[in-house]
Amino acid sequence: MSALWIATIGTSVIAFLLKYSGHSIPERFLSNPKIQRINTLIPIALLSALVGVQTLTEKSSLAIDHRLAGVGVAVIALFLKAPFPVVVLTAALTSAAIYNWF
Amino acid sequence: MSSPDIGYLRQNRRVSKVASTTLRDSFSVSLTVGAYGVAFGAAAVANGFSVAQSCLLSLLTFSGASQFAVVGVMGAGGNPISAIATASLLGVRNGLYGVIMAPRLKVRGIKRIIAAQITIDESTGVALNQESRGEDAMRHGFYLTGFGVFIFWNLFTLAGALGAQAMGDIRAWGLDAAVPAAFLGLVWPRLITKRDRIIAISAVALALALTPILPAGLPIIATAFIAIAVGLRP
């Protein structure tokens, strides 16, 4: 089985077990305020790290290229409170323009 | 006999009115959020997943942030264990939603399995928004939104995956920047306090600093420790 299949099936199995366990365990196990707080902070850390890695790395080294321009425009769009599709589209258009013409 | 009839009608009218508000909430959330599935399908194919794998992730994992994470880590050259671990850390919150919803849904067996699968940000969010309208409205909101997002998310994933597959060189279409922009769009609404923004910037810095040193995928997981360290402080 290829690495991509292992990732696909493994993620799906654990995602379901996490959902199902929430429906089956007593509330007191997860009502600890520290657990709740860590749970709201983990997505912030992981998603931000993914933004950084996907924008500024190529294989295992740092790289500055057309993607940074695209994500920079996405930041501006978000500051201007643009909706999600606009953010993604302006990033793609900017990045594609630079990649194709420079 | 007249007063129970009026009572019944009045109650009935209230029930249908609640249902229409709940229906509207659920439908608008389902369509808007489901449309993000295009971005996921495209991101998955851009990062090397097949159309079938992209669609299976949406059907079986059915949790946006986890799905984006697994394709992001694999696309960055990570191994499946790091990808699964990152996605799973993002999936823990669905378990917490299950804890909130279980006492309100009170379902067992196959119904519990189905309810668990559609326990996500949106279904729980709409359900909690209906709280003032009563437990029935909460249940309606949960199921309508859960099934609604499920249908649209999967249809749009297929569309995005097929679209990206037809593109050829994804860089020429800007898809390699659209993927991190999509992550940014997911994290942006969560950056409410100064502490949140400091965590975000620290996580970017740490992940970039570790990229040349650690195998791909691990720099991303490592940033979870920032969240844990901050969360443990009183």
Of the candidates A6, A19, A60, A16, which has an alpha carbon nearest to the alpha carbon of residue B81?
A6
| Residue B224 sits in the same domain as residue B172 | no
Query: DSSP class of residue A61?
Result: E
- Is residue B120 domain-shared with residue B234, that is, in the same domain? no
d(CA B228, CA B192): 18
Strand, coil or helix: A70? helix
Do B53 and B75 reside in the same domain of the chain?
A: yes
Q: What is the ipTM of this complex?
A: 0.88
- The DSSP line for B152-192 is HHHHHHHHHHHHHHHHSSGGGGTHHHHHHHHHHHHHGGG--
Q: Which residues of A touch B53 (CB under 8 A)?
A: 4-5, 8
- Residue B9 and residue B78 in one domain: yes
Domain of B57, in residue numbers:
3-188
Number of A–B residue contacts, CB under 8 Å: 308
Residues B30, B131, single domain; the answer is: yes
Q: State whether B119 and B198 are in the same domain.
A: no
Place of tokens 């500024």: A56
A59/B220 touch (CB, cutoff 8 Å), yes or no: no
- Does residue B69 sit in the same domain as residue B117? yes
What does the pLDDT profile of chain B (234 residues) look like in tens digits? 333 444 444 444 444 455 788 888 888 888 888 888 998 999 999 999 999 999 999 999 999 989 999 999 999 889 999 999 999 998 988 988 898 889 889 999 999 999 999 999 889 988 988 888 888 999 999 999 999 999 999 999 999 999 999 987 888 988 889 888 988 987 898 899 999 999 999 999 999 999 999 888 889 889 999 999 999 987
Q: What is the mean pLDDT of each successive set of 10 residues along chain A, which is 102 residues long? A: 94 97 78 81 89 90 95 97 89 95 86
Q: Angle, nearest 10°, between helix axes B175-187 and A84-101?
A: 150
Question: In the prediction, which pLDDT does A28 show?
Answer: 67
The total number of structural domains in chain B stands at 2
Q: What is the mean pLDDT of chain A?
A: 90
B13 and B44 share one domain? yes
One domain for residues B159 and B107: yes
- CB B36, CB A88: distance < 8 Å: no
User: Distance, in angstroms, between A86 CA and closest chain B CA?
Assistant: 10
Q: B200: Cβ–Cβ under 8 A, 6 or more apart, which residues?
A: A44, A45, A48, B187, B191
Partner residue facing B96 (CB), from A30, A66, A93: A30
Neighbours of A44 (CB within 10 A): 25
CA–CA separation, A87 and B45 (whole Å): 20
Cα–Cα dist A59/A7, whole Å: 19
Instruction: For the beta carbon of residue B192, count every other beta carbon within 10 angstroms.
Output: 10
> Are B48 and B21 in a shared domain?
yes
Shared domain check, B184 and B167: yes
- Are B168 and B229 contained in the same domain? no
